[in-house]
Amino acid sequence: MSAATRPFRFIAAERSYFSAKVRPALRAKGVYFEEVLPTPSAMAEIKQRTGLHFIPIVVTPENETWQDTSDIHDALEARIPFPALIPATPVQRVVSYLVELYADEFMLLPAMHYRWSTPEGKQEARDAFVAASGDRDAALELAKAMSGILPALGVNEATVPAIEAHFFELLACLETVFADQPFLLGEQMSLADCALLGPLYAHLYLDWVPGRMVRERAPRTSHWIERMNHPLPDDFRGFRAGDELHPGVVALLRLIGGDAAPVVLDTVRDFERWADAREDDGYEPPRATGFHETQLRGIPMPRYTNAYTLWMLQRPLDAYHALDATQRTAVERALAPTGCEQVLAYRARYRLDKRAYRLVCHRR
């Protein structure tokens, strides 16, 4: 078989948050791919290719391995530029990366809470894990580990009401956007849509407990979820003209600025405090570097400190710093009333890069 006819391979799962972030991009860009379940042999392949245990990965026809959904999106955009999923204009571009940061880092709270906090949710998710893996014991072990991390994420009895209130407000914002346009930034799917689809489809729509809420409270968002998973790229008509944002997206940015930005920045600050105490440079940080306390809507929220959050924060910051002064002013104006300005104003003292799929920390 020649390289031209060999498919991409996408090792992924239906109930996987990060798989759902990539699948619509593969489909929208017309990639010829086969989706492979995360069976024990597929997981062994991931470990052998990346040294990690994360799904999804993409294997190209040339046998290159793409790991980390942010890198996968970048690699796909470079290889198949049309339709563009990463906007070229400054405001929509920075907003795409901000929504990605929010979707990847903060939306874990409602997604994990609704999957694992109730006995019926837990049972149903365990069954789905078993069905996707073909290895009952390994799947139940994974389910146990996932449900066990709720307290470390900051999901506890005190924070749950704020997490649920945040989720309902998110759905309300999305409903106003999808009343007027098919995608977050206009008439074309973007990275922002793909990133939000991760939690919204793989957890909050497919899981029985929140799935009913999404369908009842947010019919337009439900249609967007279906539209995202079955894109019609010939119907894409571009992002909103003039680099504009729909008012519902500005409301979403306010929700992100108010609730998620402080949580993300507190995580990064705590990671940087941990790095300050080290004398070396160019090392691989552990996945978690300790615990810190942040707040959600005034409620104290203890959480583990994830080194990776800084790497995700660098994406909107890099996009913003690459702009010229006029473009930066346009972004600042668009974000001024939202609270997301604090994200763009953050000055990190460390930089995380990747070496063979692993994070490497450098002093700036």
Ligand X SMILES: N[C@@H](CCC(=O)N[C@@H](CS)C(=O)NCC(=O)O)C(=O)O
List 296's β-bridge partners, or say none. Answer: 299
Any contact of residue 69 with ligand X (CB under 6 A)? Answer: yes
Q: Are 351 and 314 in contact (CB under 8 A)?
A: yes
Binding of ligand X by 321 (CB under 6 A): no
Q: Minimal distance in Å, beta carbon 44 to ligand X?
A: 14
197 lies in the binding site for ligand X (CB under 6 A): no
Where does this chain touch ligand X (CB under 6 A) — which range of 1-9, 64-72, 132-140, 159-167? Answer: 64-72
Sole window of 65-73, 132-140, 229-237, 318-326 interacting with ligand X (rule: CB under 6 A): 65-73
Residue whose CB is less far from ligand X, 70 or 314: 70
Taking the least distance from each CB to ligand X, the nearer of 108 and 251 is: 108
Using the contact rule CB under 6 A, the part of the chain among 51-59, 165-173, 176-184, 326-334 near ligand X is 51-59
- The 3-class secondary structure across the chain, one letter per residue, is CCHHHCCEEEECCCCCHHHHHHHHHHHHCCCCEEEECCCHHHHHHHHHHHCCCCCCEEECCCCCEEECHHHHHHHHHHHCCCCCCCCCCHHHHHHHHHHHHHHHHHCHHHHHHHHHCCHHHHHHHHHHHHHHHCCHHHHHHHHHHHHHCHHHHCCCCCCHHHHHHHHHHHHHHHHHHHHHCCECCEECCCHHHHHHHHHHHHHHHCCHHHHHHHHHHCHHHHHHHHHHHCCCHHHCCEECHHHCCCHHHHHHHHHHHHHHHHHHHHHHHHHHHHHHCCCCCCECCCCEEEEEEEEECCEEEEEEEECHHHHHHHHHHHHHHCCCHHHHHHHHHHHCCCCCHHHHCCCCCEEEEEECCEEEEEEC
Please answer whether residues 338 and 256 qualify as being in contact, where contact means their C-beta atoms are separated by less than 8 angstroms.
Answer: yes
Applying CB under 6 A, does 363 fall inside the site for ligand X?
Answer: no
Given the complex with ligand X, which of 64 and 180 has the nearer CB atom? 64
Using CB under 6 A as the binding rule, whether residue 55 contacts ligand X is answered as: yes
Candidate ranges 16-24, 29-37, 80-88, 290-298; the one touching ligand X (CB under 6 A) = 16-24
Report yes or no: 334 and 245 within 8 Å, Cβ to Cβ. yes
Residue nearest to ligand X (CB): 69
- Contact between residue 75 and residue 315 where contact means Cβ atoms under 8 Å apart: no
130 or 299: CB nearest ligand X: 130
Is 309 among the residues that bind ligand X (CB under 6 A)? no
CB of 55 to ligand X, least distance (A): 5
Task: In angstroms, give the least distance from the CB of 326 to ligand X.
Answer: 33
**Which 240-279 positions form the footprint of ligand X (CB under 6 A)?**
none
Q: Is residue 100 close enough to count as binding ligand X by CB under 6 A?
A: no
Instruction: Tell me the pairing of strands 33-36 and 65-67.
Output: unpaired
Smallest distance from ligand X to CB 81, Å? 21
Query: Quick one: 58 or 174, whose CB is closer to ligand X?
Result: 58
Rounded to the nearest whole angstrom, what is the least distance from the CB of residue 87 to ligand X in the complex?
Answer: 20
Pick 68 or 207: Cβ nearer ligand X: 68
Interface with ligand X: number of residues (CB under 6 A): 9
Q: Report the C-alpha gap between 335 and 342 in whole angstroms.
A: 10
Residue 53 and residue 43 in contact, taking contact as beta carbons nearer than 8 Å: yes
Residue 57 Cβ, how far from ligand X at the closest point, in Å?
8
Residue 16 in contact with ligand X, rule: CB under 6 A: yes
Given the complex with ligand X, which of 54 and 208 has the nearer CB atom? 54
Only one of the segments 27-35, 49-57, 208-216, 333-341 lies at the binding site for ligand X (rule: CB under 6 A); that segment is: 49-57
**CB nearer ligand X, residue 108 or residue 252:** 108
Shortest separation between residue 235's beta carbon and ligand X, angstroms: 28
17 makes contact with ligand X (CB under 6 A):
yes
Residues that bind ligand X (CB under 6 A): 16-18, 53-55, 68-70
